[in-house]
């Protein structure tokens, strides 16, 4: 059940773009994020705020912005659904031809939406447009810049997938502007850590990515962010899905399985599907070279414990 729900506007033309803003206890940075969205040079949008049962001043801030601007809608859950369900809810409640997520602690440059929409309008085969990222601290001071290098104008899905799995850095592209009808063909944000990466895997097989060559997105690093606060695997998994009782023992293998599953569900010819599976094999080889020693040691230790539990002498 929802409380403090603002119904969808009745009648009228739907906006071209919807901004989904999922939030939980975001009072510290929420106003800055909302102000940056409302200051966009591209103005044909709505903001769909989904509040995951915040216990701070978030509801009051959201209602303040609803009263200020008719483009802002606010929906609140009585219980914490987990980040995955809350992120997805912002999309399911949206109406726009295009969609983007805006984390409550991040900031958009005024031309962010305009430049991304221009890229999507210019080429119907582009499914996702995103700008380069500037990492900032709690006060908004620049720490470093990130070039995701996921500009993928390639026609073949296996080529795009191969580029993605070998160039991925921080998944910042997942909060770019995407065609809503294409996003609806994916699993969205799933209930496990790393599902944002899996979403990009599926989008890469569905169409091209366009990187706007300017730093129009500020990603904030701070002590209360999900990555900083959830240092244990179980905590991170429960951030995505509150119903999870324990964290994944081998999250790397989970990502491998989910990529394999994604290739299997995409609308691809047999030849292209096989080629995409081969690209996942490249991802495995790359990861194994970089992290293989530590992962093999962990696997051996776990198997050793298993031999003892089962009463069998281990190697």
Q: What CATH number is given to the structural domain containing 19? A: 3.90.550.10
Residue 307 lies in a domain: no
Rounded Cα gap, residues 112 and 89, in angstroms: 23
The predicted pLDDT at position 79 comes to 92
Domain contains 129: yes
Instruction: Report pLDDT for 117.
Output: 98
Confidence of residue 2 (pLDDT cuts 50, 70, 90): low
% of the chain beyond a pLDDT of 70: 79
Q: Is residue 269 part of a domain?
A: no
Q: How far is CA 245 from CA 18, 82, 86, 115, 207, in A?
A: 33, 13, 19, 42, 36
What is the C-alpha to C-alpha distance for residues 82 and 86, in angstroms, rounded to an integer?
Answer: 6
Tally of structural domains, the chain? 1
Express each pLDDT in 112-165 by its tens digit. 999 999 999 999 999 999 999 999 999 999 999 998 899 999 999 999 999 999
Domain that holds residue 27: 2-233
Residue 88 domain-assigned (yes or no)? yes
Predicted confidence band of residue 103 (pLDDT cuts 50, 70, 90): very high
Statement: residue 310 has pLDDT above 80: no
As a whole number of angstroms, the distance between CA 49 and CA 61 comes to 11
309 pLDDT more than 70: no
- Flag whether 300 is in a domain: no
Q: Convert the pLDDT of each residue in 254-294 to its tens digit.
A: 889 999 999 999 999 999 999 999 999 988 887 766 555 55
On whether residue 140 sits in a domain, the answer given is yes
Report whether pLDDT(311) > 80: no
CA-based nearest residue to 182, from 168, 195, 199? 199
Nearest CA to 182 out of 119, 98, 89, 83 is that of 98
Q: For the segment 180-218, what is each residue's pLDDT rounded down to a tens digit? A: 999 999 999 998 888 999 999 999 999 999 999 999 999
Query: Does residue 145 fall inside a structural domain?
Result: yes
Q: Is residue 290 part of a domain?
A: no
CA-to-CA distance for 232 and 213, rounded, in angstroms?
35
How far lies 133's CA from each of 118, 127, 148, 149, in Å?
18, 19, 8, 11
Lowest mean pLDDT, pick from 2-11, 149-158, 228-237: 2-11
Q: How far apart are CA 262 and CA 201, in angstroms?
A: 8
């Amino acid at each position: 059940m929802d409380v403090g729900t603002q119904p969808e506007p009745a009648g009228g033309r739907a906006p071209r773009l919807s901004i989904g803003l999922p939030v939980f206890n975001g009072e510290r940075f929420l106003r800055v994020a909302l102000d940056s969205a409302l200051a966009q040079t591209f103005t044909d949008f709505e903001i769909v705020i989904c509040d995951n049962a915040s216990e701070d001043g978030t509801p009051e801030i959201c209602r303040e912005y609803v009263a200020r601007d008719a483009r802002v809608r606010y929906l609140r859950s009585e219980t914490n659904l987990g980040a995955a369900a809350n992120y997805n809810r912002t999309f399911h409640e949206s109406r726009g031809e295009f969609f983007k997520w805006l984390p409550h602690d991040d900031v958009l440059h005024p031309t962010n939406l305009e430049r991304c929409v221009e890229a999507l309008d210019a080429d119907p085969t582009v499914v996702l447009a995103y700008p380069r990222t500037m990492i900032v601290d709690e006060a908004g001071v620049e720490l470093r810049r990130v070039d995701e290098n996921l500009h993928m104008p390639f026609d073949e899905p296996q080529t795009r997938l191969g580029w993605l799995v070998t160039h991925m850095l921080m998944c910042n592209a997942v909060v770019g502007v995407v065609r809503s009808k294409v996003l609806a063909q994916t699993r969205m944000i799933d209930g496990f850590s790393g599902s944002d990466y899996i979403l990009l895997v599926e989008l890469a097989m569905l169409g091209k990515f366009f990187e706007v060559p300017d730093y129009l997105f500020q990603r904030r690093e701070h002590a209360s962010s999900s990555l900083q606060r959830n240092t244990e695997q179980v905590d991170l998994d429960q951030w995505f899905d509150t119903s999870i009782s324990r964290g994944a023992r081998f999250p790397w293998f989970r990502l491998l399985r989910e990529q394999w599953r994604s290739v299997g569900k995409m609308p691809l010819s047999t030849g292209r599907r096989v080629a995409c599976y081969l690209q996942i094999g490249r991802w495995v080889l790359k990861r194994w070279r970089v992290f293989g020693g530590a992962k093999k040691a962990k696997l051996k230790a776990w198997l050793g414990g298993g031999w003892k539990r089962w009463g069998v002498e281990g190697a």
